[in-house]
A and B are shown apart, each in its own frame.
Chain A
């Protein structure tokens, strides 16, 4: 039950809380025409009486153990007319003694009842209007505070994007509400390298924005102290874990780019995997790790890649891939991948993706989550080849573990080494070795599970060509196959198959097989002639 206010004589009614207002005023004030404000407590017996007995109350005749009634009496109120609108008691019309000092007549009472019946709805409307005005003022204040919060949050984001010769960076940051849980940042190192951060706090709005502010500071200070992306995420996680609110965590990617070589090392705390967009297709940078703030004492895997002229790197938050169209269909990764395949080169892909997202969601979209998109592309000249021990990456790509895909591997590697001018027979040997290595990885490593890719990296040092073929086939080393025995095969004593590794060994100058954690890597090494 709301508070009720007694008004006195002059029919002014208010419904606002007046703090520290004495419950009772004196008779003189009343007679002088002053307004008396009286709050009737919800448990005051007068309240129960008024609700039960609608009609004019003769104050002097009423006997109740009621502070409000006592106050009315002390204030000189003679009759009190309840004002009721739609069954709700919204006030009292209180009158003191008539100036003639006569009793109120029956006509007076009828007039007052009629007046009260007409005044009550009008009063109710006035009360509601005031209430709405108060709410609007409150809403406006909150909106103003959120606008200020947004401005403050924007000061936590980079004021301008880093400027690196030959490189272009573009970011699209689109909060779902006034403030966002998405963030990004850049850390410039004195040696010219650039730290690149993108993060996404669970949830959105104010709680996410508060966690975002802390996380960004923690990550920034870790990035300034540590040199490896994995160590930065580990340190940030250890600092965040004790303080982050329950059920909240932060996904985050941190990469360090060397603009002079295109080399990028990236570590991932549960964020969407970034893509390297190359003219030959997309490469997912598959670094994994748990989100920040979920559990302490975890380490973060690092993944290394190199960007070449005409290539771009794309980071993106959940808000993009998890957006829904009016039919309830999700934007999803397959759509993102095919759009990236079809997107214009360079950072123009950011605007392209934003336009495609708008087209997908439609004009009426109520944005579900914060959206952040970042592209970094290299448009400069090819990097100068480094010293004797520095390898130059000619190609790096992934293939799905599907029968027949070894042909794609052959063609892509052949394309990548064109500039080396290998002799036709050496090129054929390379192609066969790559095809057999890829088949081996798809079949024995990944067991033709499509979700497990085969990664192929082609690089040269000053005197060697190295092709690394990696599968995700578990932590068991590749067993060394027995040397094929043709006589035994012809007599059915040995499977006619089992030629793969044998062929590779005979095609390359050196074959190395490495097993680390879940991956096997075949390293095919070819000495370069004339080196």
Chain B
């Protein structure tokens, strides 16, 4: 069931890398997300922005995938900045304490200013 396939667009924006996430973050997203993150790492910049504004659904497996990215970022000393999360997913990031290890900002402009 890949009615809403997960896609990531990776691009460099001045001194940081932007990952535009699109679709549903569940087990089907694993490969695309991991490959895109490797691509983002390839720029070798300290800040990676994760744009969730076009993500329609995140389930517990999606949370686990984000934890995986956080782990990779932590090891490499990178900072992950997240924006475009709905109120509900912001709440979930709080409950799961992901928010403690990520910078959550409202939009891309704020993310560029971090």
- A binding-site residues for B, Cβ under 8 Å: 402-407, 425, 428-429, 432, 435-436, 439, 484, 486, 489-492, 495-500, 502-503, 506
Interfacial chain A residues near B61, Cβ < 8 Å? 439, 497
In the complex with contacts A404-B26, A405-B1, A489-B71 CB distance below 8 A: yes
A407 pairs with B57, CB closer than 8 A: yes
Shortest beta-carbon distance from A425 to chain B in Å: 6
Q: Could you say which of B60, B91, B97 has the most chain A C-beta atoms within 10 Å of its C-beta?
A: B60
Additional 15 contacts, C-beta under 8 A, given A486-B100, A498-B64, A499-B96? A402-B1, A404-B3, A404-B26, A425-B91, A428-B87, A435-B57, A435-B59, A436-B60, A439-B60, A439-B61, A486-B97, A492-B71, A496-B65, A500-B60, A503-B63
Q: With the chains together, A489 CA to B64 CA distance in Å?
A: 9
A496 touches B68 (CB 8 A): yes
Closest 7 CB pairs of A and B: A404-B1, A428-B88, A499-B60, A496-B67, A496-B64, A497-B64, A500-B60
B-side contacts of A429, CB under 8 Å: 88
Chain B, residue nearest A410 (CB): B57
Contacts of A406 in B (CB 8 A): 59
Contact yes or no, A503 B70, CB < 8 A: no
| A431 and chain B: residue at smallest CB distance | B88
CB distance from B10 to the nearest CB of A (A): 22
| Assembled-state Cα–Cα distance A439/B95 (Å) | 19
Which chain B residues lie closer than 8 Å to A489 at the CB level?
Answer: 67, 71
Cβ–Cβ contact B59 & A436, under 8 A = yes
For B71, give the chain A residue with the smallest CB separation.
A490
Q: Is B27 an interface residue (CB 8 A)?
A: yes
Chain B, 20-38, CB within 8 A of any chain A CB: 24, 26-28
Contact B1 A425 (CB under 8 A): no
B92 interface contact, C-beta 8 A: yes
> Within 8 Å of chain A (Cβ to Cβ): is B98?
yes
Q: Please give, as numbers and ranges, the residues of chain B lying within 8 Å of A498 by CB-CB distance.
A: 60, 64
Question: Are B92 and A503 in contact (CB-based, < 8 A)?
Answer: yes
Q: Are B60 and A403 in contact (CB under 8 A)?
A: no
Query: What total of chain B residues lie within 8 Å of the partner, measured CB to CB?
Result: 30
Whether B103 sits at the interface, judged by CB under 8 Å, is no
Give the docked Cα–Cα distance between A497 and B95 (Å): 15
Interface residues of B (CB under 8 A from A): 1-3, 24, 26-28, 57, 59-61, 63-65, 67-68, 70-71, 74, 86-88, 91-92, 95-98, 100-101
> Judging by beta carbons under 8 Å apart, are B60 and A486 in contact?
no
With A425-B87, A429-B88 already in contact, the answer to whether A499 and B71 are too (CB < 8 A) is: no
- In the complex the two chains form, is B101's CB within 8 Å of A490's CB? yes
B70 touches A490 (CB 8 A): yes
CB distance from A503 to the nearest CB of B (A): 6
Whether the pair A496, B71 counts as a contact (CB closer than 8 A) is: yes
With both chains docked as a complex, state the minimum distance between the C-beta of B73 and any C-beta of chain A, in angstroms.
9
> Which of the listed residues B3, B59, B95, B100 has the most CB atoms from chain A within 10 Å of its own CB?
B59
Contact of A497 among B2, B60, B70, B74 (CB under 8 A): B60
- Please judge, given known A-B contacts A403-B27, A490-B74, whether A439 and B67 are in contact too, CB under 8 Å: no
Task: Contact check, B101 vs A486: say whether CB atoms are below 8 A apart.
Answer: yes
Closest-CB distance, A448 to chain B (whole angstroms): 11
Using known A-B contacts A404-B28, A496-B67, determine if residue A503 contacts B87 with beta carbons closer than 8 Å. Answer: no
Find chain B residues with CB under 8 A from A503 CB.
Answer: 60, 63, 92, 95-96
CB contacts (< 8 Å) of B98 on chain A: these are 486
In the assembly, what is the distance between CA of A322 and CA of B58, in Å? 44
Q: How far is the CA of A428 from the CA of B67 in the complex (A)?
A: 22
**Could you tell me if A484 and B74 are in contact, using CB atoms closer than 8 angstroms?**
no
Q: Which residues of chain A have C-beta atoms less than 8 A from B59's C-beta?
A: 406, 432, 435-436, 439
Q: Contact between A432 and B71 (Cβ–Cβ < 8 Å)?
A: no
For B1, give the chain A residue with the smallest CB separation. Answer: A404
Q: Is A403's CB under 8 angstroms from B64's CB?
A: no
B68 CB, nearest partner CB in chain A, Å: 5
Q: Nearest CB to that of A504 among chain B residues?
A: B60
- Cβ distance A38 to chain B, nearest Cβ, rounded Å: 88
A484 to B60, alpha carbons, bound, how many Å? 12
A314 to nearest B CB, angstroms?
A: 28
Residue of B whose beta carbon sits closest to that of A495: B64
Q: Bound complex: CA of A495 vs CA of B88, how far in Å?
A: 24
Q: Which among B24, B63, B70, B100 has the highest number of chain A CB atoms within 10 Å?
A: B63
In the complex, the chain A residue whose C-beta lies closest to that of B91 is A425
Residues of B within 8 A of A486 (CB): 67, 96-98, 100-101
Q: How far is the CB of B59 from chain A (nearest CB, A)?
A: 6
- Chain A residue numbers with a CB within 8 Å of B96 are 484, 486, 499, 502-503
List, in ascending order, chain B residues with CB within 8 A of A490's CB.
Answer: 67, 70-71, 74, 101
> Are B95 and A403 in contact (CB-based, < 8 A)?
no
In angstroms, Cα B103 to Cα A234, docked, is: 64
Neighbouring B residues of A402 by C-beta, 8 Å? 1
The 8 sampled A-B contact pairs (Cβ below 8 Å) are: A407-B3, A435-B59, A439-B60, A490-B67, A490-B101, A496-B65, A498-B64, A499-B96
Residues of B within 8 A of A499 (CB): 60, 63-64, 96
Q: Is the CB of B1 within 8 A of A432?
A: no
Q: How many angstroms from the CA of A436 to the CA of B97 in the assembled complex? A: 18
